[in-house]
Amino acid sequence: MGTDFDTIVILDFGSQYTQLIARKTRELGTYSEIHPYNISINRLRQISPKGIIFSGSPSSVYSGNAPVPENDIFSLDIPILGICYGLQALARLLGGKVSPSTEREYGRAILRINDVSSLFKGFKKGENTTVWMSHGDRVEGIPAGFKVIAATKNSSYAAIADDNRKYYGVQFHPEVAHTERGKEILRNFLSVVCGFDKKWSVGSFIEREIKRTRERVGDKKVICALSGGVDSAVVATLLGRAIGKNTKAVFINNGLLRKNEEKDVEETFSNGFNFELFSFDAKNRFLSSLKGITDPEHKRKTIGREFINVFEEKAKEFGDVEYLAQGTLYPDVIESVSFSGPSATIKSHHNVGGLPKKMKLKLIEPLRELFKDEVRELGRLLGIPEKIIERHPFPGPGLAIRIIGEITEERLLILKEADSIITEEIKISGLYNDIWQAFGVLLPVRSVGVMGDARTYENACVLR
């Protein structure tokens, strides 16, 4: 990605917790990036990280396609922390012994600290602490130069260390909340072992991104895809600070929005922001392009393509527009990329995999290195109203992917009403800001019910 900050690289072996590791390290003031486990050594040298973390994995180190990093990774002379599968991969690559366990260890376990180490700075020898385990294989012999620094009932090598080479491995997951002092262990690896002292912060990100945008865009105009959500609002506001009125915030009514959303967006963003808002009604165009399509992946790509077509047409009207800005986030990028290992592409994100390969506009994605909580923090620093900051996430393809099966105007109206009722009831109960996301999904089936003592046979909607 390229950054001015000292970086920790997390190699993803397919763990469900990989993004959580990145978020935890950033919470500790360290900038982190996730990369596929098979990243080339040359690319790692370009990034020049101060430390590397091997994530967990659902794989066994003995499986035929077990994910492993390049052996040359140990020639980089960079501190490494292996977590769960990452510990097993580290131990096996360096000459240790890993075997299948006769008893899977899953859930909480009591970890006993056996020896002092930089990784456990602040812990006392003989001390017990609760950790979270989730593994089948286990280390049964450590590589030369390592020592055992902690154990559990089922894992004699629950934590190992080579303080000289700064290689460490833990069988448990320090990134999850169930590990009592996990944050402390991660902090020790980052600060004590890797020597991070330059703090990552969203505030410093603002200054860097404004400078980057001005250098890249110059006096050209930028179309910003404004949906009304926090991500696009932050992008538009950030661009407004960087290039002022050359930011053209464009809101497209694609007919797939929530009830009264087009009206809310126009009222909210027409005044008080440092960018100009332009609204366009493309409802018929989008619904026509989606006619007969039922596959969700096909829907995403169709909507992404149609958005780009509209933006490119509007760019001609504005004149001198070369760039399209959108609110792609870091998880969007990660979810849209298969790392050729156990983790596969689950869906194409409309901002990433849903875009056509040939585009006339150049993309600007200032938030593609940030997680959602960081974007909310950024929005507050930029002075964006709290009602926008705390708005529930809404996908770019809109209600199209919350309608299972074909999209029709009738089905859209049903889901809009259902979604409106759900949101209103949550607000009345005072739970809106306590719930990260709540919405309805319209199923392609009808169900028998009762209304006014009479039988009904109506559409079924799932509340999530």
Q: How far apart are the first and last CA of the chain?
A: 34
Structure-block tokens of residue 384: 């964006």
Q: In what order do the strands lie in the sheet with 80-83?
A: 31-36, 7-12, 51-54, 80-83, 167-170, 159-162, 147-151, 97-113, 128-141
Of 177, 149, 16, 11, whose CA–CA distance to 81 is shortest?
11
E strands, 247-297, are: 247-253, 276-281
- Dihedral pair phi/psi, residue 84, rounded to 5°: 55, -110
Q: Is 369 a catalytic residue?
A: no
Of 409, 416, 408, whose CA–CA distance to 441 is shortest?
416
269 touches 330 (CB < 8 A): no
CA 11 distance to own-chain centroid: 15
Q: In angstroms, rounded to a whole number, what is the distance separating the alpha carbons of residues 374 and 331?
A: 12
Q: Is 392 a catalytic residue?
A: no
Q: In angstroms, rounded to a whole number, what is the distance separating the alpha carbons of residues 356 and 451?
A: 47
Q: Is 461 a catalytic residue?
A: no
Where is 200: in which H helix or E strand? none
In a 3-state reduction of DSSP, which class is residue 324? strand
149 touches 131 (CB < 8 A): no
Residues in the chain: 464
Of 27, 44, 82, 57, whose CA–CA distance to 370 is shortest?
27
Determine which one of 33, 35, 135, 175 is catalytic: 175
Determine which one of 84, 194, 224, 461 is catalytic: 84
**To 5 degrees, how large is the angle CA 139–CA 142–CA 145?**
155
Determine which one of 173, 262, 335, 374 is catalytic: 173
Other beta carbons less than 10 A from residue 232's beta carbon: 24
Enumerate the active-site residues.
84, 173, 175
